[in-house]
Amino acid sequence: MRCMFWNVRGLGTAHIRGLVLKHVIQENLDIVGIQETIRQDFNDQELKDISGTFDFAWKWNPAKCHSGGLLLGGEIREF
């Protein structure tokens, strides 16, 4: 199982989401944890920008004002 936890200091730009996606693909990650997202919510496209073609389930805790926020995703696999 391969995991990554990253303090991104903001996940609002497509550039940052692209960097996360690059690591998801290169490292074939199963679990992704992103802290300091500085986001209240995510839409489906933003989450797809992070996981690409991998089928991830996502949960998050919203940021408070202009700090915090945690996003956690795991690849869904059938056994």
Maximal C-alpha separation, the chain = 40
Instruction: Return the pLDDT at 37.
Output: 93
Domain count along the chain: 1
Give per-residue pLDDT as tens, 5-63: 999 988 888 899 999 999 999 999 999 999 999 999 999 999 999 999 999 999 999 99
31-35 β-sheet, strand order: 3-7, 31-35, 70-75, 56-61
Instruction: Return the pLDDT at 35.
Output: 95
Q: Is the pLDDT of residue 79 over 80?
A: no
Domain coverage including residue 69:
3-75
pTM for the predicted model, two decimal places:
0.89
Q: Is the pLDDT of residue 78 over 90?
A: no
